[in-house]
């Protein structure tokens, strides 16, 4: 027992030191993805324990985080997320993404050319094995379907959460942004500017496409969570950042963050 306690203490201490180092780097761009491996990230996939990267879902090749399902067979609702190891509160996040390949057999139709970046998320280590989505806010990423119809990206979705949008408390699960439609496998740049539980801004290819405020725990969509974690009405002032897998192959690269000074 003593050795377990020491191990737990060591982990907390190391994470705390890493957080302090990042906070000291306020105003500087820091890579979250080193281009080589995902040792600084935590995997949590529905139906599996935290840390189990079933089917090598999240892998690094050619300096890219690749989300793949070639070892799956039927998808079986194996919704997954790759979390950076420490939480953030005030920051500017940049990343690039592109959709590739075909939707995995058995994945829900709505996940076609669909992924996302979760933020202000609960710690993945607090998620039971059968919890499907993290309590979090999502910057939803969508690709055009090539049918000439608009399909915005950089939208807002809210698993187990709510926001204030255009000054009104809004319980909709997803709200469309004002972005353009991006077809094919082109790289698209996303940005998140997060100011604690205050203003949140989504940007796509340098253009602001959505803003909202006061993220908080509430609402549904999340299932089989630990009720001690989901306290509705709790303001979301900080949390983990995660890259999503939900049946569509997708690539991520150039994931970097600038820690911003907290609001006084």
3-state secondary structure string across 119-183: EEECCHHHCCCCCCCCCCEEEEEECCCCCCCCCCCCEEECCCEEEEECCEEECCCEECCCCCCCC
User: Are 135 and 173 in contact, with CB atoms under 8 Å apart?
Assistant: no
Q: What percentage of the chain reaches a pLDDT higher than 90?
A: 88
Tens digit of each residue's pLDDT (9 = 90 or more) over 160-171: 999 999 999 999
Question: How much is the pLDDT for 188?
Answer: 98
Tens digit of each residue's pLDDT (9 = 90 or more) over 196-225: 999 999 999 999 999 999 999 999 999 999
Cα 163 to chain centroid, rounded: 17
Token digits for 251?
Answer: 């690539």
User: Are 78 and 158 in contact, with CB atoms under 8 Å apart?
Assistant: no
Alpha-carbon span 18 to 259, nearest angstrom: 13
Global pTM exceeds 0.85: yes
Q: What is the DSSP letter of 101?
A: S
- pLDDT band at residue 172 under the 50/70/90 scheme: very high
Tens digit of each residue's pLDDT (9 = 90 or more) over 65-86: 999 999 999 999 999 999 999 9
Question: How much is the pLDDT for 94?
Answer: 98
Alpha-carbon span 162 to 62, nearest angstrom: 38
Tens digit of each residue's pLDDT (9 = 90 or more) over 107-126: 999 999 999 999 999 999 99
Token digits for 121?
Answer: 């998320």
Q: Any idea which residue has 């890493």 for tokens?
A: 18
Alpha-carbon span 182 to 185, nearest angstrom: 9
Collect all residues with Cβ–Cβ distance below 8 Å to 264 and sequence separation of at least 6. none
Which domains are delineated in the chain?
28-259 (2.60.120.560)
Question: How much is the pLDDT for 5?
Answer: 38
Collect all residues with Cβ–Cβ distance below 8 Å to 34 and sequence separation of at least 6. 40
Q: Is the pLDDT of residue 98 over 70?
A: yes
Listed range (3-7, 145-149, 222-226) with the worst mean pLDDT: 3-7
Q: Any idea which residue has 């079986």 for tokens?
A: 76
**155-157, strands of its sheet edge to edge:** 41-45, 80-84, 240-245, 114-121, 137-142, 155-157, 174-175
């Amino acid at each position: 027992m003593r050795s377990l306690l020491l191990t737990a203490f060591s982990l907390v201490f190391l994470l705390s030191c890493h957080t302090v180092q990042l906070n000291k780097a306020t105003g500087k761009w820091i890579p979250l993805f080193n281009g080589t491996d995902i040792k600084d990230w935590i995997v949590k996939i529905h139906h599996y324990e935290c840390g189990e990267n079933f089917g090598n879902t999240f892998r690094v090749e050619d300096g890219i985080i690749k989300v793949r399902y070639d070892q799956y067979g039927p998808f079986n609702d194996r919704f997954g997320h790759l979390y950076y190891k420490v939480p953030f509160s005030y920051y500017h996040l940049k990343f690039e993404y592109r959709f590739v390949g075909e939707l995995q057999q058995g994945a829900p139709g709505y996940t076609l050319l669909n992924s996302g970046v979760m933020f202000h998320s609960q710690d993945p280590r607090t998620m039971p094995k059968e919890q499907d989505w993290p309590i979090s806010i999502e910057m939803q990423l969508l690709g055009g379907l090539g049918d000439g119809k608009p399909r915005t990206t950089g939208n807002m979705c809210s698993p187990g959460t709510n926001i204030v949008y255009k000054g009104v408390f809004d319980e909709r699960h997803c709200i469309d942004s004002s972005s353009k439609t991006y077809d094919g496998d082109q790289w698209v740049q996303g940005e998140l500017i997060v100011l604690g539980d205050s203003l949140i801004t989504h940007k796509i290819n340098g253009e602001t496409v959505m803003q909202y405020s006061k993220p908080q725990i509430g609402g549904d969509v999340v299932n089989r969570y630990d009720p001690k974690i989901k306290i509705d009405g709790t303001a979301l002032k900080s949390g983990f950042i995660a890259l999503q897998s939900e049946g569509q192959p997708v690539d991520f690269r150039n994931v970097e963050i600038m820690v911003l000074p907290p609001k006084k």
